[in-house]
Amino acid sequence: MPDTGLSLLGIETSCDETAAAVVTGGKRILSNIIRTQIDIHAEYGGVVPEIASREHIRSLLPVIEAALEEAGIEAGNLAAVAVTQTPGLIGSLLVGLAAAKGAALALGIPLVAVDHLEAHIYAARLARPELDYPYLCLLASGGHTSLVWTESPLRYRTIGETVDDAAGEAFDKVASLLELGLPGGPAVERRARQGDPKRSPFPRPKVKAGDHRFSFSGLKTAVLYRVRGQDGRGEITLTEDEISDVCAGFQAAVVDSLVDHTTRAATELGARRVAIGGGVAANGPLREALSAAGSRNGFDLFAPPLSLCTDNAAMIAALGYHKLQAGEIAPLDVDAIP
């Protein structure tokens, strides 16, 4: 019988969030510390990989110490260290992986390598233990947008994914284009509340039956032409109200696309449970629209709290617990996969 009292330290440094957490039994979060670098990268208009790596080096040990202190647990009582191995920025991943290897070696405990995306898929169940398998997960983040049929914590099957840009990337690019600052998703959502999508409509990608692939490059280009003219090189001449309308129209198009694809897939698969994960899962209109679609189409929506949508270490430690129970221990020479 598995030991459900095992406490794992989770470490997450895949991009620009330095995070550490302690989770017991794969479900009880004792601490979840996140130190963001948003203000540092804001002046550059996006994440600078070299700067992100250096900030992780400065922040990671204090963040780990804070996670252990808040959890009220001594390092010697940890059962294992779980760390993000892939995907992410190579320099950022290496910082977290080096720290995790050092901790595992010094403490004489197992090292568990975790896929960041699989952890986002599990995040909804970490927050909502009543979410039973199987379930369909909409994974939407800055680098990935996909639909994943989930049969257990370690068994997945991709149903469809983006053929070009991810939803989160599109949000970031539109925010940059409109000079709204970082992070792009929340910035666009805030301005969209003040706008009217009907005054600035954008096209929705065509969807064929059985085709669950996403595409956001055309939508992103449409916004570029709306803002800078048909050659994409003009100056921004929109009023503040027009910028809000563009944000509202763009967001509505993204939400419609995500909800349409997810609903079609859930119907075809007979899914009664749908979860969402990733940074875009924090978008309020998306959560509301998917919940309403579930009511109309016979599935329940399971959405994690906002703290588990963005990059965090609790989901790494939680999924790491299941990998540990399955005997999936990583060697100390395991490498990062960007």
153 in the same domain as 170 = yes
Instruction: Specify the pLDDT at position 1.
Output: 31
Instruction: Let me know if residue 62 belongs to a domain.
Output: yes
Tens-digit pLDDT profile for residues 188-232 = 999 999 999 999 999 887 766 678 999 999 999 999 999 988 877
Angle at 247 between CA 89 and CA 173, to 5 degrees: 25
Per the domain annotation, does 264 fall within a domain?
yes
- Separation of alpha carbons 93 and 103, rounded Å: 16
Domain assignment present for 274 = yes
Report residue 321 as tokens: 């617990």
Residue at 77 is within a domain:
yes
Residue 40's domain comprises 7-121+310-325
CA distances from 133 to 69, 149, 158, 334 (A): 34, 10, 15, 30
Residues 109, 140, single domain; the answer is no
Sign of torsion over alpha carbons 32, 115, 302, 131: negative
Q: 149 and 289 in one domain?
A: yes
CB 33 within 8 A of CB 49: no
Same domain, 102 and 187: no
Is 219 within 8 Å of 253 (Cβ atoms)? Answer: yes
Within a domain: 331: no
Number of domains observed in the structure of the chain: 2
Residues 60 and 11 in one domain: yes
In a domain, 66, yes or no: yes
Q: pLDDT for 274-310, tens place per residue?
A: 999 999 999 999 999 999 999 999 999 999 999 999 9
Beta-strand pair 80-86/111-115: parallel
The pLDDT score that the predictor gives to residue 207 is: 62
Model confidence, pTM: 0.94
Q: Are residues 23 and 80 in the same domain?
A: yes
H/E stretch holding 322 = helix 314-325
Regions of the chain with pLDDT less than 70: 1-4, 207-209
CATH number assigned to the domain comprising residue 286: 3.30.420.40
Q: Is residue 338 part of a domain?
A: no
Q: Same domain, yes or no, for 236 and 252?
A: yes
Query: Which residue intervals of 193-274 are DSSP H helices?
Result: 217-228, 240-269
Which DSSP letter does residue 162 get?
B
